[in-house]
Amino acid sequence: MRIIICDAGPIIHLHEAGILSILRNAGEIFLPHSVFVEVIAATNLADNWPEWLQVEQLASSELKEAETWAKTGDLHKGEAEAFVLARIKKADWLLTDDSAARLFATLSGLEVHGSLGIVLWNTAHRHLSGTEAEQALYNLEKSSLWLSAKIFDEARKALIILTS
């Protein structure tokens, strides 16, 4: 099974779009405790935390490594901890919607995806119908996720190809 480490953005955005559950189709999902705290502060998931979103506590040496990455890589605390956890777990994917974190992780050799990628992946693997995928895109567009109209247009074009 694919091992996926998740930053706060995709969890928050997929939750706002009402499609958080599609994330579990992609693999085993792990997140560092600081990301959990960030997600709880931004959502109403505290009372209804999905059991399949597995929270990991980093050791003190790992937290120090994350602090170093945060300082040198222009990353926030949660992004840096997610990067360290991805290394520890030998993750297949890192999920983040932050452009600096995406660049940093990609340059480090990690396969990186975001909220939009999760929708497209679920569509390609027939976990979402064309109609469900279109609604998911619409809902993501209304969430706090910021992507340009051009990116959403490209995603809609990709849906046409994926569902034909």
Q: So where are the chain's domains?
A: 3-114, 116-163
Phi, psi of 132 (to 5 degrees): -65, -40
The order of strands in the sheet holding 53-56 is 53-56, 28-32, 3-6, 93-95, 112-113
Q: Could you give the 3-state DSSP secondary structure of residue 122? A: helix
H/E stretch holding 96:
none
Write out the two tokens for 147.
Answer: 């992507």
Is 3.40.50.1010 the CATH number for 3-114? yes
- In tens digits, the chain (164 residues) has pLDDT values of 899 999 999 999 999 999 999 999 999 999 999 999 999 999 999 999 999 999 999 999 999 989 988 887 678 899 999 999 999 999 999 999 988 888 888 888 889 999 999 999 999 999 999 999 999 999 999 999 999 999 999 999 998 888 88
Amino acid identity at 53? L
